[in-house]
Structure 1
């Protein structure tokens, strides 16, 4: 054990355990901070806590770094050390680098020495365990217990790819925010990991810390007169960067948001680009605001959208399917509206794309911006079976137990209002209501029981 960390002769308590928390966004780091404050990772005594930060942007050097975000220092203060994963694996990209399986013991010894954690047990708290850098981390620390935290709506959808059994068996919990009260996460349910809520009061307290730290910067963007504070916030994403929409289509989407907010009576509006969106901004939104005779403020600093909610107290938040929309509703009581979800649902490929459940939640639950300000949010009781049905169709092998419920829901509900949540070809291949009629041979091939019998027979014949 490194004497520079814990020295028994100096009277410092011996290190009993290390906890490594991996984060790539301030929202995710805030979720971890709230979980720590709520005692969900146990007492700090005898534990070395490391915040391992990474930038997963396509060109990390050109993106806003986590340490540049307002509120970062307050969150980082909860940890004994902050380490940049990008620097550790330089010049490799965090989304791409992972060690060869035979090299993992060497990498673990190297990190234990470099990070001052000796030979003590290690716990990992990671996001997006299916991909790097989280996947690399859990592979290197192959004997460590794993806690997955979900910082957005993706927690309600199924796991993107089935985890190898040795990794899946180590996942203890899925820590998540209560963004849609009453909806239970599907993420990692197939591993037996238990979902656990991060308390609302702990998370809102962390958001308050962040907004206090960012207050001066936010106000520097805003008009000096209190009565001119923005009453609507428009949320940008990075759909063109993900190649879901073209740059022009995404710009048109922003203009639709603005025009919808103007039609709802808002005269002072903020546009908040996504922190990891490419640094490009055309004049289309400015021109639309000028044509409508409204004030538009673009807040493109290193800020969470939630700081705008806390300081400006807007009456409306508009977006496509950003998690920040549901944060506005769940934690600030702000009305929210959507636009563009139908287009993105049509473009999203493959069907099991992890954005499908967040899109489905927002499209089904959140009022359309064009419907007016009196439209109400849909009931969660109606949303739950839809999400479970979409989740089954996305990952039928992981969630065979949902098939019967999915069949019943589709039989009763598939129609013009719900058809765009599914692909006819997908329903057909799964033999579900809403798909095309299958020939007898195709129906037999689609039947999981028949497939198991055929595979068993083939094995016996080998």
Structure 2
């Protein structure tokens, strides 16, 4: 039993995020066992939650859930409202806190809230309901290296104690929430890797994974379903997957696995099978409720290829698998508006990973090169200039040094520079 009357609420919407939280708990970053009661609050933020894969259906979920004293479902709690859009009116928050304390058995305990995206619901709704609680943010992907998506009220920002994040690009520090003086803290690699192994153990009897392993694949293609985000059309995304397969085949891989996004349409798999037949390679689709990392654990491919998925970096950092990118230039050119939070993940992957379509050799990128942080900070400034005015001079210097380069034009469209009134220094 806890030695203090304290409850920690961990809000999660993905198994990858839940694994990040579990690793931080195992590493003692939320205190010793028994210091507080721990509640896992599961939310499904899909556009149509009823048709999306539930987190508790993911292989390995039960292993993660065992770390918590209680499980609650946010979608059920606020039904019929959507978790991505609902937030209580200010005058309703005291009532909602009483309702939640009763429903979740919190009593009068002090509450601490741990969320994955403080800028949006359901995190904002939880912060509003538990208005006196301390807040902590965990970042489960490459977006942590970019700026905070929206301005936060100071009354909210001052409650955030830290950002916990994975070391996906060793040496690169997150920009997320730094404008509010919030520091970041790494989740230890060893702890996260141990949780991934634990999740993979739960998949030992998975028929889909066994079938994929039996094909003796040497390459994995990662799907992201960019069409649902409005970045590409469905046809364009199909073609992007085809480019990935053709690149892997040209690199000599004869057995390839495709890991589609859980919400992607079945037509993507059918189209890729046709592409595989034309390329003369064996294709296996791994469309079960599995993390890509579970496949890495079981099969250890020689190549992982994708556009800008976080799973590219986990393959390299935690498994030592060579990685390559396809299509980042296409997506960067289409990404709107400029402050779109996918811009930094795209910039990082484009800068770090080789382009498979140019026959560049896949590799494990290692620590962040010296020129990555200046790029990220310059892009971050151009995304949110009002939030990071102190980065303007550094951004102008970076732009001056890369004036006329392909990278400069790719990451900094002229119309954005005009909008920000960023002018290149006059050369002597």
Q: TM-score band, normalised by the shorter chain?
A: over 0.9
**Mapping of residues 426-445 of structure 1, within 5 Å:** 426-433=416-423
1:296-337 CA distance string (max 9 Å, x none): 000000000001111111000000000000100111111111
Contact 1:20/1:51 (<8 A) preserved? yes
Equivalence for 2:217: 230
**Mapping of residues 53-132 of structure 1, within 5 Å:** 53-132=42-121
Match status 1:322 vs 2:294? no
Match status 1:201 vs 2:199? no
Alpha-carbon distance change, 433 to 103 in structure 1, aligned in 2, over 3 angstroms: same
Equivalence for 1:139: 128
Contact 2:212/2:285 (<8 A) preserved? no
Equivalence for 1:273: 260
2-structure distance, mates of 1:212, 1:400: 48
Contact 1:428/1:434 (<8 A) preserved? no
Equivalence for 1:363: 350
1:269-316 CA distance string (max 9 Å, x none): 000011233454352211111112111000000000001111111000
1:297 to 284, 295, 317: 284
2-structure distance, mates of 1:345, 1:325: 17
1:151-203 CA distance string (max 9 Å, x none): 00000000000100000000000000000011100000011111000000000
| Structure 2 alignment gaps of length 5 or more | none
Contact 2:209/2:295 (<8 A) preserved? no
Alpha-carbon distance change, 308 to 373 in structure 1, aligned in 2, over 3 angstroms: farther
2-structure distance, mates of 1:181, 1:433: 32
2-structure distance, mates of 1:279, 1:435: 51
Shift of residue 14, structure 1, vs aligned partner: 6.1
| Structure 1 alignment gaps of length 5 or more | 1-11, 437-462
Match status 1:420 vs 2:407? no
How many pairs does the alignment contain? 422
Contact 1:158/1:187 (<8 A) preserved? yes
2-structure distance, mates of 1:213, 1:202: 17
2-structure distance, mates of 1:246, 1:257: 17
2-structure distance, mates of 1:116, 1:279: 42
Equivalence for 2:333: 346
Q: Structure 2 length as normaliser, TM-score?
A: 0.95
2-structure distance, mates of 1:169, 1:13: 27
Larger radius of gyration: 1
Match status 1:148 vs 2:133? no
1-structure distance, mates of 2:133, 2:19: 23
Contact 2:23/2:187 (<8 A) preserved? yes
